[in-house]
């Protein structure tokens, strides 16, 4: 039986970020994952990417993680352009609006997972365990996490960072609210005739938004095309050439003719929000606690904020000789992170509702709002600071 202070269930970006933030804290950690922690990147860009904001980049750098990234597969973006399809509304952001070195970075998820795993392998306080959990025995002081290979890990706190269908959340019986967004997200890589110039672009259509995220190759973008279910099904049935033609038309050929590179994957979009994040001996973070619409690319950044805030709470408790497994010592973390998540969820719902449909009055409101905001430097600066996590 392995004895540790904290067992993190989930070897994705959020769970590993928590472990990296706890390195050097004096707390012993085990990260449990049913997937390999490291996987060699494919030659072509990975389908799943994330826009990591400036604040989280700084924290990852301070934790010694950023240095482990494959630099050739990172793309800094210096500008953002957002417009309303078939309307006059548009807004543009640039690093010069702050000013700042960059607005953020587009990183393949596996690249970041590999970097986090590489950092943890250099540390001395984290044990990385591959295996599936068969059973959890909750105790008053210690919890026993039993794996399917009969190994047992005893800990004072279990952290559920195991995704939207969290096993830990279910076992701890933490209540969940959810809502079907009615959208399906299509993810793919495209090649464009014109270079993206390190600009992240998003167009809102009556059926949902389309984001073009610049990759390291100046002519490659990762797309997240969120459409209502009927339209998404239609798009997925198109052959690659016709799909690319539809995409080119949707973007008003802003980067010229697009070509589909490789496969498309899709997944339904659901809002989830855990009404309780912690009990004695357990706490949840990341997608285990909340999932949001990807229209602003804030999902992973929100989860990382959970991870870094929890690390700060646990370190403070340890320094003050408080039991970090007790609910009363996790309350402040839970209140703060629930409030942040609720705010972002509400904002995404507001954007989705405002930009949905082709109601003429809505179009006028959207157009005037975007144009007015684009002409107010103070407001644009505030929006950028929030998007960058500052």
pLDDT single digits (tens) 195-222: 999 999 999 999 999 999 999 999 999 9
Supply the pLDDT for residue 142.
92
Average confidence score pLDDT of the chain: 94
Supply the pLDDT for residue 358.
76
Do 79 and 197 meet the contact criterion of CB atoms below 8 Å apart?
yes
Q: Where are the domains of the chain?
A: 2-72+107-178+271-349, 76-105+183-268
pLDDT confidence tier of residue 118, bands split at 50, 70 and 90: very high
The pLDDT of residue 68 is above 80: yes
Supply the pLDDT for residue 141.
86
Do 49 and 109 meet the contact criterion of CB atoms below 8 Å apart?
yes
The pLDDT of residue 257 is above 90: yes
As a whole number of angstroms, the distance between CA 120 and CA 60 comes to 12
Supply the pLDDT for residue 355.
79
The pLDDT of residue 389 is above 90: no
- Which CA distances in Å does 321 have to 115, 116, 242, 314? 32, 28, 62, 10
Q: Are strands 176-192 and 290-291 parallel, antiparallel or unpaired?
A: unpaired
Fold of 76-105+183-268: D-Amino Acid Oxidase; Chain A, domain 2 (3.30.9)
Do 376 and 93 meet the contact criterion of CB atoms below 8 Å apart?
no
Fold of 2-72+107-178+271-349: FAD/NAD(P)-binding domain (3.50.50)
Do 199 and 285 meet the contact criterion of CB atoms below 8 Å apart?
no
Supply the pLDDT for residue 370.
82
Task: Evaluate the omega torsion of the peptide bond into residue 8 and state whether it is cis, within 30 degrees of 0.
Answer: no
pLDDT single digits (tens) 273-285: 999 999 999 999 9
Distance of CA 324 to the CA centre of its chain: 26
Of 8, 247, 224, 274, nearest to 120 by C-alpha is 8
Do 161 and 14 meet the contact criterion of CB atoms below 8 Å apart?
yes
As a whole number of angstroms, the distance between CA 193 and CA 199 comes to 15
pLDDT single digits (tens) 285-329: 999 999 999 987 889 999 999 999 999 999 999 999 999 999 999
pLDDT single digits (tens) 77-117: 999 999 988 778 899 999 998 888 999 999 999 999 999 99
The DSSP string of 101-153 is: S-SEEEEEHHHHHHHHHHHHHH-SSEEEEE--EEEEE--SS-EEEEETTS-EE
Supply the pLDDT for residue 243.
98
For the entire predicted model, the pTM comes to: 0.94
pLDDT single digits (tens) 164-189: 999 999 999 999 999 999 999 999 99
Supply the pLDDT for residue 9.
98
Supply the pLDDT for residue 375.
84
- Which CA distances in Å does 205 have to 86, 209, 228, 232, 281? 8, 6, 11, 13, 45
User: Tokens 């950092």, residue?
Assistant: 119
Share of the chain above pLDDT 70, in %: 100
């Amino acid at each position: 039986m392995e004895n540790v202070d904290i067992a993190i269930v989930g070897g994705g970006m959020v769970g590993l970020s928590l472990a990296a933030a706890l390195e050097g804290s004096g707390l012993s950690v085990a990260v449990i994952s049913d997937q390999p922690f490291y996987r060699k990147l494919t030659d072509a860009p990975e389908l799943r990417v994330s826009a990591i904001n400036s604040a989280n980049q700084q924290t990852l750098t301070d934790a010694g993680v950023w240095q482990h990234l494959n630099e050739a597969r990172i793309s800094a973006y210096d500008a953002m352009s957002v417009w309303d399809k078939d309307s006059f509304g548009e807004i543009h952001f640039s690093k010069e609006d702050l000013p700042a070195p960059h607005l953020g970075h587009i990183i393949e998820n596996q690249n970041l997972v590999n970097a986090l795993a590489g950092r943890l392998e250099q540390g001395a306080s984290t044990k990385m365990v591959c295996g599936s959990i068969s059973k959890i025995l909750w105790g008053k002081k210690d919890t026993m996490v039993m794996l399917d290979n009969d190994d047992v890990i005893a800990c004072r706190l279990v952290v559920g960072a195991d995704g939207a269908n969290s096993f830990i959340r279910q076992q701890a019986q933490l209540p969940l609210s959810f809502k079907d967004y009615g959208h399906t997200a299509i993810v793919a890589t495209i090649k464009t005739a014109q270079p993206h110039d390190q600009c992240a672009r998003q167009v809102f259509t009556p059926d949902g938004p389309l984001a073009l995220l610049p990759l390291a190759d100046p002519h490659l973008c990762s797309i997240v095309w969120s459409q209502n279910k009927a339209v998404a099904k239609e798009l997925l049935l198109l052959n690659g050439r016709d799909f690319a033609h539809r995409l080119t038309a949707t973007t008003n050929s802003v980067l010229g003719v697009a070509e589909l590179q490789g496969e498309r994957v899709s997944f339904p979009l659901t809002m989830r929000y855990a009404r309780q994040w912690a009990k004695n001996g357990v706490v949840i973070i990341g997608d285990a606690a909340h999932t949001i619409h990807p229209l602003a690319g804030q999902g992973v950044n929100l989860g990382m904020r959970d991870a870094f805030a929890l690390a700060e709470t646990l370190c403070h408790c340890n320094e003050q000789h408080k039991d970090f497994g007790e609910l009363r010592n996790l309350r402040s973390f839970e209140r703060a992170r629930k409030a942040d998540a609720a705010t972002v969820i509400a904002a995404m719902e507001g954007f989705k509702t405002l930009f949905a449909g082709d109601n003429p009055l809505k179009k006028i409101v959207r157009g005037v709002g975007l144009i007015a905001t684009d002409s107010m430097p103070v407001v644009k600066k505030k929006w950028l600071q929030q998007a960058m996590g500052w």
